[in-house]
DNA sequence: CATTTGACTTTGA
DNA sequence: TTCAAAGCCAAAT
């Protein structure tokens, strides 16, 4: 009974600290190159008990998710900074530096 | 069962 | 190069 959500959780749980992954990347791992929305949507249904690094999952341009999701405007950014993630002048993640690449 | 929505990506102008 | 619109899949209503 492996649901879509469970697969997403598995991938997100594999994201190493200090790194970030994109929705499209995760979606592709699940075999859904166009299922990026589903990944983000799955994140919305993630039980907080799983301690999934959902803050490490961002969009392609390295921008953080809408504030209302984390319950604060600088919430996600604070978590990322605590992990050592750096931001550029545009307030986005330095993807060149922190993009999680399995195929290194 | 059909319609709407959603933490996105890609393509076109 | 940047901005706007379409596309996509799954869950919720």
Render pLDDT for A40-73 as a digit per residue (tens, 0 to 9): 999 998 888 889 999 999 999 999 998 888 888 8
Q: Which two tokens stand for residue A51?
A: 């301690």
Q: Which nucleotide is closest to A37, CA to C1'?
A: B8
Q: What is the pTM of this model?
A: 0.92
Residue A83 contacts residue A89 (beta carbons within 8 Å)? no
Average pLDDT over residues A79-101: 93
Nucleotides in C strand less than 7 A from protein CB: 7-12
Residue A104 has pLDDT above 60, yes or no: no
Distance A5 CA to B1 C1' (A): 24
Residue A85 contacts residue A15 (beta carbons within 8 Å)? no
Distance A52 CA to B6 C1' (A): 20
In the numeric block, the tokens 């200090």 are attached to: A18
What residues have CB less than 8 Å from A13, skipping those under 6 apart? A50, A52, A53
Residue A26 contacts residue A12 (beta carbons within 8 Å)? yes
Residue A78 has pLDDT above 90, yes or no: yes
Task: Note the pLDDT of residue A80.
Answer: 95
Distance A17 CA to C3 C1' (A): 34
């Amino acid at each position: 009974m492996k649901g879509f959500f469970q697969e997403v959780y598995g991938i997100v749980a594999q994201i190493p600290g200090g790194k970030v992954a994109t929705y499209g990347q995760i979606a592709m791992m699940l075999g859904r190159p166009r299922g990026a929305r589903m990944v983000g949507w799955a994140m919305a249904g993630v039980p907080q008990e799983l301690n999934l690094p959902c803050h490490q999952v961002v969009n392609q341009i390295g921008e953080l998710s809408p504030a209302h999701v984390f319950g604060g405007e600088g919430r996600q950014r604070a978590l990322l900074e605590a992990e050592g993630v750096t931001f550029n002048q545009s307030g986005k993640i330095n993807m060149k530096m922190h993009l999680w690449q399995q195929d290194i």
